[in-house]
Structure 1
């Protein structure tokens, strides 16, 4: 008997959902409501890849070996330090007769659920990956449950580009929803030159933001974001320095932002985001490096009347929105293409 949320795949500890499990059963045989994917490429989330790369001082072979060990021991790609994983693309291999997912054998798809809850097995030892980029070419299989989500890849976009976009498609969708609830708000996006940051800036503009500020840590990212034309203003600040971050945002807006979106993959940015946000405003945390205890206690300690939202990666229509931004906003497309070339 299979469970639509994958409880039958949990090996240990018993009684938890797949995301919280320490080990999953990644066996090839599928249940009546499951789907098996022939995996072509993983996209490790930014926080996880940064942690692994820094741990091994950029040694790609060591990073590759640890990723293999994580997948082999856990039956999924679930970084035990960051708690995050990523997503994948592949070809649908087999669909159970009771699966509600709108896919069929032969479809090339991207999974829109985290690798931290997706049963996964690798069969090629990641031989084609050098361990130095977030995108991981590979061979193996993955299992989707009845409550999983997947999107058929569009024919008009490069699959690598689609994978990079769909990995962060929850960010622009929730940003757009929040911005639309204000009357021409000011919006600050911390990490505005990154994948989720650039999409969030474009989504904020489309949703009616009055002014947008992209916050980046180094001049090279400032120059790229200015060239992309996605923000009204671009400022340099270390997001881990609350006073400097708040001053940078207020300096161009004349005060704190109505909406602040955190899209950086380093810890310690919670207090700066809160300080940079106006009373009655909203902070959206999209980084897996966020400490939600630090955010909650920081807001209390600052007596900050702000709404704090956890970007959970799913908003209805999120994939379609993100792909439309890449198609229609040249600046977003240029930033993604440059990032993929660098990787």
Structure 2
């Protein structure tokens, strides 16, 4: 596509439009066509990683007598992607992230990616144009990690990281999905430690992925005591 694009993806917003237009995360529907604007990158999707809050809400909605109806969860995820052009749970407002392989790179992209790179997106699925082409046929609907085929679009100012060689791809996906929280904890606790103060750190939701990694980061950065709630 040759028309001008927005580095934050405004050109991909289909609803709302005009004076009411919003950024992609707040939009009701995105344009997930595979054709690229000059500064975009297209990813061939391998796995979606639904965020914990989103998957929990979907699973609880489709649970009867203690059993999750995986087929119903799968059908709802498909409906969300097809109707909205992105994976954003309408109840929680959250999305997740994905791993895949760079399929095409626009000539004006500044993301530093090349065709063939295997990457994890570090921007939420709630703002990433996404199309699924396999009906999620390999997913049983019973876990947060979703084998999928399709494509996703990264904008000029999206973020993606090349997957490390020393971590299993699915483990890397889980870690990168929550990497922001422990990084922030490490920085804040480290600032206290540099002044000779060893703080006590309490984490609400300490049993989850983000919480447990944040507790580990706090301890490594010099926290005197860590508390998981």
Range class of TM-score, shorter chain: over 0.9
State the partner residue of 1:190.
Answer: 204
Q: Which residue of 1 aligns with 2:110?
A: 100
Task: Provide Cα deviations, 1:270-301, integer angstroms capped at 9, x if missing partner.
Answer: xxxxxxxxxxxxxxxxxxxxxxxxxxxxxxxx
- Give structure 2 stretches of 5+ with no counterpart: none
2:14 corresponds in structure 1 to: 11
For 1:235, the equivalent position in structure 2 comes to: none
Matches within 5 A, 1:62-211: 62-182=72-192, 183-211=197-225
TM-score (norm 2): 0.92
Task: Quote the Cα distance in structure 2 between the aligned partners of 1:164 and 1:204.
Answer: 19
Runs of 4+ in 1 over 4 A off after TM superposition: none
CA displacement at 1:190 relative to structure 2: 2.5
1:156 and 1:140 map into 2 onto residues whose CA distance is 26
Distance 1:195 1:105 in 2: 31
Query: How many residues are paired up?
Result: 215
Structure holding more helix per residue: 1
Question: Which residue of 41, 45, 59 maps to 1:39?
Answer: 45
Q: Write the distance in 1 (CA, Å) between the matches of 2:31 and 2:59.
A: 27
Aligned residue number for residue 32 of structure 2: 26
Tell me, yes or no, if structure 1 residue 61 matches structure 2 residue 61: no
Return the offset for 1:62.
Answer: 0.3
* Candidates 55, 73, 77, aligned match of 1:49: 55
Deviation at 1:137, TM superposition (A): 0.2
Offset at residue 189 of structure 1 (A): 1.9
> What SS does the corresponding residue of 1:40 show, helix, strand or coil?
strand
Q: Which residue of 2 aligns with 1:234?
A: none
Instruction: Measure, in 1, the Cα distance between the counterparts of 2:9 and 2:129.
Output: 9
Shift of 1:192: 2.1
Q: Determine the C-alpha separation between the residues in 2 that align with 1:143 and 1:115.
A: 10
Using the TM superposition, give the Cα deviation of residue 191 of structure 1 relative to its aligned residue in structure 2, in angstroms.
2.5
**Take 1:212 and 1:198, find their aligned partners in 2: how far apart are those partners?**
10
The structure showing larger relative contact order (alpha-carbon pairs under 8 Å, at least 6 residues apart) is 2
Q: Give 1:188 shift.
A: 1.3
Distance 1:29 1:154 in 2: 28
Gaps spanning 5+ residues in structure 1: where?
Answer: 216-343
Return the TM-score normalized by structure 1. Answer: 0.62
CA RMSD of aligned residues (A): 0.8
